[in-house]
Each structure stands twice: as C-alpha cells, then as structure tokens.
Structure 1
Amino acid sequence: MSLTRALIDLRPLRTSRLFRWLLFGRTVSTLGSFMTVVTVMFQVWDSTRSPVWSGAVGLAQALPMIGVGLFAGAWVDRADRRRIYLLGNAGQAACSLLLAVQGFVGHVPVVVVLALVALQASFGALGAPAAGVFVPRLLPKDQVAAGVALNQASGQAMMLVGPAVAGVVLGWWGVGVCYLLDAASFGVSFACAFGLPALPPVGGASRAGLGGVVDGLRFLTRHRAVRGALLTDLAATVLSMPLSLFPLVNAERIGGNPRTLGLFLSALAVGGIVATAFSGPVTRFGRPGPVMLAASAVWGGALAAFGLTHGVWSSLLLLAVAGGADALAVLARTTIVQTCTPDALLGRVTAAETVVGQAGPQLGNLRAGAVAAWGGAAAALVSGGLLCLAAVGAVAASTPEFRRGAADANGVGAVDAAGAREGGRAASAAG
C-alpha cells in the first residue's frame, strides 16, 4: 500500500468547495470553543476555589446538550438545516460576547457564568444536529467517511492547540479577551456556512414536538446497524472510560507529578491524531461496522492492560493505542449514522448520537470512580476493559447487520426496511 493511500483521504477537499469552507469555519470555531472551555474552568476555579463549582461547569455544558438535543433534532428535520445551523452559531457568538462582558466587568456571581455556559451549550445542541446533515448532503456517499475523518482530524488538532492558546491569552490579556476571540471564531464559522444552499429534509418533514422525537427513537431501535453502533459506543464509554482515574493512577504509581498527569491526557489525543492521519485505508474500506467493533475491542483491551502496567512509557504507549482506537471507533460510528440514516431522520439520529457521546463518558467516569473507591484504580481499569470486551462481543454476536457493515444506497436495505419506512412515513435526523 502506498503512503498516499495510507494517509487521510483528502478527496472531499477537492470535490466540494462548500465542504472546504465548512471545514475551515468548523476548525476556527472549535479552536475558540476549546479556549472557552479552559477559560470557564479557570474563571470558576479562580472565583470559588471549589471543586464542586468546577465540576458544575461540566454539568452546565452537558445537561443542555442532552435535554435540548433530541427536540432540536426533531426541529432540524422539519426546517432548513442551513438556517438552524446559522442560528446556533449566532446564539453561541452572542453568549461568548456576554461572557466577555462579564469577564471585563469582573466580580460576577459564578451562577451567572454557568447560566451563560448552559445557554451557549443549548445553542450548540441546536446547531449540532443541523451540522450532522452537511457531510452526506455535500459529498458523494463513498467520500462521507473521508469527510467525517477530516472533521475529526481538525477537532483533535484544535483540542491540542486550543488549551495552549487559551493559556497564553489568559496570561497576557485575561478572560475577557479569550471570550472575545471565541465570539469571533463563531463569526468565522457563520460566514463560512452562509453560502450554503437551503437544505430542507428530503422525504418529508418530521412531526412536531414529542411525536417527532418518538419517530426518531423508533428508527434507532429498529435499524439494527445504527442501534449496534450506538450500543457499542455506550459499551466503550460507560464501561471503560478512564479519565476520572488518571489523578489516582498518577498518585499511586508516579508520585502525583502533575506533568505526568498532563501526559496521560496528551497520549490519548496524540494517539487519536495519528490514527486519524492514517485513516485512509479505514475510510476506503467501506465497512464501518467491523471497524468500530475492532476499534472498540482494542480500546477495552488497551485500557485493561493499562490497569496492569506500572511503567510510565508503557502506560503512555497503551493510552496512545487506546486514543487511536477511540478515534477510529468514533469515525466509524459517525459514518454509520450518516450513511445508514434517511435524510428525513438524520437530524434526530444525529441528536441521539450527540446525547450518547455526551452522556456515555460522564456515566463512565462515574462508574470508574465508584469502582476505584471500592477496589482501587487497577480494579476499575481492568474490570472496565474486560466488561467492554464482553459487551462488544455481545453486540457483534447479536447484530449480524452491524458486524457485516452492509447497507444499500439509501442506508436501509436489508437492515430493516420496515422500520425505516415507518420512520419515513412519520417523518419521510446529527458533534
């Protein structure tokens, strides 16, 4: 295999001018978002010196995404996705401006900061399902996986760069300037998406309100490949998410050195970037189901081995392997959702995927902490990794459609045509 074919597939950049602009805008806004994540954490801790308030930042970001997401997905499947995405960007930019104002004013109650963070997350929950339809609408189906990989690569790169840039800006100019830069980044994203054509749902509009949400959930339960992808993701995150254990592992094995703790997090990110950079064979393979199963199994196995390892370098290597496997699993999951879901349902299904991606890791960190409190970090990591392997095996054994990774041009085919038709009849949704 040539090096060119091993590297990330760049065909979407040549195929679609609109995709190029969207990717640029998304990259800039993701940079700003990671800067704001760091800035909010810094401001809340600086104001309160309380780990409880610091933990509340995560809840303020996650709960609106979960609570608003499914209903936002139903709205996305009733209207022009372009306009909803632009509305989400404008709302997030406005929230960043308000955060900047309070940052310059100073001495604002922390509950006000968290309320603005929650409002911004709500606008993000509105824009995410709309953004989920762009790649399959702008690219040929055989390039959807490559488009997802490019989006993922830009996000991972900004996850490394954003916190570092935030640290520099905070040190020189303070929290207000960080929030202003985030607002400007959403402005760039808005401008890059403004030239999109109208993107109404294809195949009929969703039912309004709760009925539309139920139709989307019904599709998820009946489309076995999509259901298998989300269950596999939950198995990996709920059963074996390791992040909450890093401080304990660092204290038990390496003396609590904060630089090593940072390396744990960096190793996951570096593994993800390397795996995505060399994802060309995976995206051209055309069978994301087996890729996700294999990657999720590697994730669980690497974390179980990490639980038994005491050397610094071997630990970092295993975390890099886990990070790479996680990146490929997320790439496969998103590809399955975007290629196997009818356009009229894509907003709701993408919203459900976003909820899974938000809730799973939070529950996984909670599980890991509870087990570690009882039996230590090694018990939590090893048991979680083994449970993940067992759950992935169960999904593979019970879902041959997902294991084969096959779908027809409409994403329905033999998987569950009846379930898709019912969802299509009610709606005829995406991070």
Structure 2
Amino acid sequence: MRQSSGTLPRRSVKSLLGKVFIDTRPLQYPAYRRLWLSNIVTAVGAQFSAVAVPKQLYDITGSSFYVGLAGIFGLVPLLVFGLWGGAIADSVDRRKLLIITNGGLAGTSLLLWLVAYAGIPSVWLVLVLFALQQTFFAVNSPTRGAAIARLIPTHLLPSAQALGATVFQLGSIVGPLLAGVLLPLLGLSVLYLVDAIALCLALIAVFRLPALPPQDGAPKKAGLRSVLDGFRYLGLHAVLLASFLMDIIAMVFGMPRALFPEMAERTFGDPPGGGAALGWLYAAIPLGAFFFGLFSGWLHRIARHGVGVTGAVIAWGVAIIGFGFADSLWLAVLFLAIGGGADLISMVYRSSILQSAATDEMRGRIQGVFTVVVAGGPRLADTLHGVAGAALGTGPAVMIGGALVVLAAALSAVCLPAFWKYRAPTGDGG
C-alpha cells in the first residue's frame, strides 16, 4: 500500500506536467525526430546568414538601399518557387527533394563564405547567391511541411507543429544574438561557415529519413497545370482557404514591425543611432511565441481548430491594440509577447489544418501557398504600416491595425461557418 500511495502522486504530477508543458510524443517516432533535430541545427544557423547578408551588403556599399534590395531578391524566389516547389514536392520522392534542397542550401552558404573570406567586393554576386539560397529554401520549406503528416499519426499533428514552431522561435531569438557576439570576434565570413556546417549536419539527418514517394493521385509533372490545380483545390475547400485568410488578416493589418524604429526612438526614448528599445521590440514577439511554445502541452486537446485559430487571431489583434496604447517599453514588450504567443497558437492550428484537411497528393502545393502567404503577408504589412504611420502617427496606426484584425477575424468566422465548425480528424494514421 505504501508503494502504491507513493506512486500515484508521481503519476499525477507527470500527467499534470504533460498537460501543461510542450507535448513531446511526436519525438517517439524516429523519422519525425530526425527531421525535427535537423530543424534545430538549421534554425540557429539560418539566422546567421540572415544577419550576415545585410551586414555584408552594407559593408560593401555603405548604402541601406542595397540592404533593402536584398528583400526583393529574397521575396521573388519565395513567391515563384514557393508555389512551384510545392508542386514538385507532390510529384517526386520528398526525401530525395529534401536531400537536394538541403545540399543546395549548404552549397550556397559555402559560396557566400568563400566570397566573404576572399573579400570579393561584388554586391551583385552576394545578391545573386542570396536569391539562389532563397530559391532552395522556397522548395525545401513546403517539402518539409508536406512530409510531416507521413511521419506521425494525424492526432499528433498539433503537437508536432508546436515543437517545430518552438524551435523556429528559439532560432529567431538565439541566432541573431549569437551572431552579434561572434561577428566582432571571428568576422563576417565565419557566420556563413557555421551556417554551412549546420546545414551539412542537417543533411545527415535527412539522409536517414524513409522514402516518401508520391501516393496515388499525385501529379506526374510539376508544371503550371499542377500549380493551378493546387489553387483550384484550395478554392473548393473553404476550410483551407479560410486558414490562409486568417493569417493574411493577422499579418497584413496587425504586424507593425515597420514602425519599430520610429517608436523605439520617439516613443520609448532610444538615441538617434539606435538602442536597447529597438532590440526589445524586435525580440518581443519571438520571445512570447517561444515561451508559449514551452507551455503548449494543452493545444492538442482542443479539437475545434477553427475556433482555436479565430480566437488566437482575435487575441493577436487585441494585443496589438494594447501595444499601440503602451507608453512604456516594458508594457509594449509585454503586449507584443502576448501577441507572439497568440500567433504561435494560430500557426499551430493553421498548420495542423493544412496537414489534415488536404490530401497527401495536394499537401506540397498547399504548403507552397502557405510559404508564400507567410513570407508575403508581413512584407505587405511593412508597406501599409509605413504609409499609415507617416499619415496618422505610429500609435494610431498600430491601434487601427489591431482593431481591423479583430473585426475582420470575427466577420470571417461569421461568413465562413465551415471553418468555425471545423474539427480535427481523430484517425491515428498518417
């Protein structure tokens, strides 16, 4: 009896922790675990290149124009090859495609390292290599996303998405901070070299994945017709279409990052050359998302994924309104962190909907659209918020944007009842 009474509390505590902390059950599946581990290695390394490319361009030219030009060189490949890459992922063995694209990413990082190490002062060479790297990423990203549902049971998809999102947010926090430390100590070229080494290590994990050949009904070729078929499929499935609409609403109306530099200086007291407030504003959203990710063990227990996305998007809008009202830095960081947590919840459920509501022969193309939406929404928001901030002031622009998120998300839920009523499938098969 003593042994039994002593065991029960331990089991109760373990059960409680399992309901609160991030659900790690997907890691019990070796294939998914290898893919996830490869994401850990590359999440931090990718941020090294994200820091190194604009720094290298500025060092070569001394002009922020060319730094901004890198945004176009990165966005165009994402838009074009994100869609086409999803079609390719549906028509070939996804493992082989991951090997090719991971190898391409590692190769371009090595070439960027060589250019930096040799001191070649060619801005166009750096921009072309960066565009090539983003091309490989645009194909790799939807392929990784489409592979997950083949590696784990359907009911674990929300938990897997939470694990992946938490790793990504950790990379978004640690990567730039670590790059800032290494840059003055080891030099710019070392950042590219570390990224290349990380990608090579990830490639080893990808090699050990099982074969993921196309299933019945998959397209034979990845041409324009295949891409258009993906859009037709999306148009016929209101749940999938609504999940993209919710993300567009949240990001286009409610992502105020273009206003961070002005707010850091004029609202929160940074000196003209920049200071700590700007860093905190940029770090707040990923910090909040990472914290919420650690305590995401309860997410898989909610079957009403449409309700989860809608509630999270509305919470994001409310947090952005609070950020617009904030007159102290720490209150602003708090609201942005809450928004980051809401965005992570939305992303987990949206990704799960894409994985479960789309058939396997369409998952790559749907993930390709997802890549384009995720990449394009915040960039469109930069333009809209910049114009609104200049015309109305930063605070009003932020608050209006947050209010539009709340209103548009609520209206979408009313107009698209199928999304509001959507429940996650209960099957165990992948």
| Class of the TM-score when normalised by the shorter of the 2 chains | over 0.9
User: Are 1:356 and 2:373 counterparts?
Assistant: yes
What corresponds to 1:10 in structure 2? 24
What corresponds to 1:50 in structure 2? 63
What corresponds to 1:340 in structure 2? 357
- 2:301 pairs, out of 276, 279, 284, with 284
What corresponds to 2:160 in structure 1? 147
What whole-Å deviation, never above 9, does each CA across 1:28-87 have from its counterpart, x for those lacking one? 012111011111121112222212111122222222111111111111111111111111
- 2:270 pairs, out of 242, 256, 259, with 256
Q: Which moved more, 1:77-86 or 1:285-294?
A: 285-294
What corresponds to 2:6 in structure 1? none
What corresponds to 2:117 in structure 1? 104
- 1:366 pairs, out of 365, 383, 392, with 383
Amino acid at match of 2:308: V
1:407, distance to aligned residue in structure 2 (A): 5.2
Structure 1 segment 282-431 matched on structure 2, within 5 A: 282-406=299-423, 408=425
1:129, distance to aligned residue in structure 2 (A): 1.6
Change (3 A) 1:213 1:53: same
Q: Could you tell me whether the CA contact under 8 Å between 2:60 and 2:121 is conserved in 1?
A: no
Q: Could you tell me whether the CA contact under 8 Å between 2:87 and 2:365 is conserved in 1?
A: yes
What corresponds to 2:37 in structure 1? 24
- 1:176 pairs, out of 171, 189, 202, with 189
What whole-Å deviation, never above 9, does each CA across 1:212-232 have from its counterpart, x for those lacking one? 011100111111111111000
User: Are 1:94 and 2:107 counterparts?
Assistant: yes
SS in 2 for 1:166: helix
Amino acid at match of 1:22: L
1:207, distance to aligned residue in structure 2 (A): 5.4
SS in 1 for 2:209: coil
Q: Could you tell me whether the CA contact under 8 Å between 1:245 and 1:368 is conserved in 2?
A: yes
Q: Which moved more, 1:274-283 or 1:167-176?
A: 167-176
SS in 2 for 1:201: coil
Separation (CA, whole Å) in 1 of partners of 2:423 and 2:286: 30
Separation (CA, whole Å) in 2 of partners of 1:81 and 1:130: 6
Amino acid at match of 2:323: F
SS in 1 for 2:98: helix
1:365, distance to aligned residue in structure 2 (A): 1.2
What corresponds to 2:140 in structure 1? 127
Separation (CA, whole Å) in 2 of partners of 1:365 and 1:234: 13
1:134, distance to aligned residue in structure 2 (A): 2.1
1:408, distance to aligned residue in structure 2 (A): 4.6
Q: Could you tell me whether the CA contact under 8 Å between 1:8 and 1:279 is conserved in 2?
A: yes
What corresponds to 1:244 in structure 2? 258
1:406, distance to aligned residue in structure 2 (A): 2.2
SS in 2 for 1:199: coil
Change (3 A) 1:74 1:311: same
User: Are 1:216 and 2:230 counterparts?
Assistant: yes
1:158, distance to aligned residue in structure 2 (A): 1.3
Separation (CA, whole Å) in 2 of partners of 1:103 and 1:58: 20
1:203, distance to aligned residue in structure 2 (A): 2.4
Amino acid at match of 2:324: G
User: Are 1:157 and 2:170 counterparts?
Assistant: yes
Separation (CA, whole Å) in 2 of partners of 1:174 and 1:294: 45
Change (3 A) 1:120 1:369: same
TM-score, scaled to structure 2: 0.92
Q: Could you tell me whether the CA contact under 8 Å between 1:271 and 1:324 is conserved in 2?
A: yes
Separation (CA, whole Å) in 2 of partners of 1:109 and 1:143: 47
**4+ runs of 1 displaced by more than 3 Å?**
407-411
Amino acid at match of 1:246: F
Q: Flag structure 2 segments of 5+ consecutive residues without an equivalent.
A: 1-14
Separation (CA, whole Å) in 2 of partners of 1:278 and 1:136: 23
1:409, distance to aligned residue in structure 2 (A): 6.2
Structure 1 segment 74-89 matched on structure 2, within 5 A: 74-89=87-102
Q: Which moved more, 1:355-364 or 1:40-49?
A: 40-49
TM-score, scaled to structure 1: 0.92
What corresponds to 2:11 in structure 1? none
Count of residue pairs brought into register by the alignment:
410
What whole-Å deviation, never above 9, does each CA across 1:230-252 have from its counterpart, x for those lacking one? 00000011111110111111222
Amino acid at match of 1:217: F
Separation (CA, whole Å) in 2 of partners of 1:273 and 1:407: 24
1:383, distance to aligned residue in structure 2 (A): 1.1
What whole-Å deviation, never above 9, does each CA across 1:103-141 have from its counterpart, x for those lacking one? 111132111101100000001111112111222111011
Q: Could you tell me whether the CA contact under 8 Å between 1:340 and 1:410 is conserved in 2?
A: no
Q: Which moved more, 1:263-272 or 1:162-171?
A: 162-171
Q: Could you tell me whether the CA contact under 8 Å between 1:293 and 1:403 is conserved in 2?
A: yes
1:143, distance to aligned residue in structure 2 (A): 0.6
Q: Which moved more, 1:206-215 or 1:296-305?
A: 206-215
Separation (CA, whole Å) in 2 of partners of 1:253 and 1:206: 54
Amino acid at match of 1:45: Y
What corresponds to 2:85 in structure 1? 72
Superposition CA RMSD, Å: 1.5
Separation (CA, whole Å) in 1 of partners of 2:284 and 2:218: 44
Separation (CA, whole Å) in 1 of partners of 2:425 and 2:230: 20
What corresponds to 1:417 in structure 2? none
Q: Flag structure 1 segments of 5+ consecutive residues without an equivalent.
A: 412-431
Q: Could you tell me whether the CA contact under 8 Å between 1:6 and 1:278 is conserved in 2?
A: yes
Amino acid at match of 1:110: V
Q: Could you tell me whether the CA contact under 8 Å between 1:307 and 1:379 is conserved in 2?
A: yes
Amino acid at match of 2:74: Q
1:366, distance to aligned residue in structure 2 (A): 0.8
Amino acid at match of 2:385: A
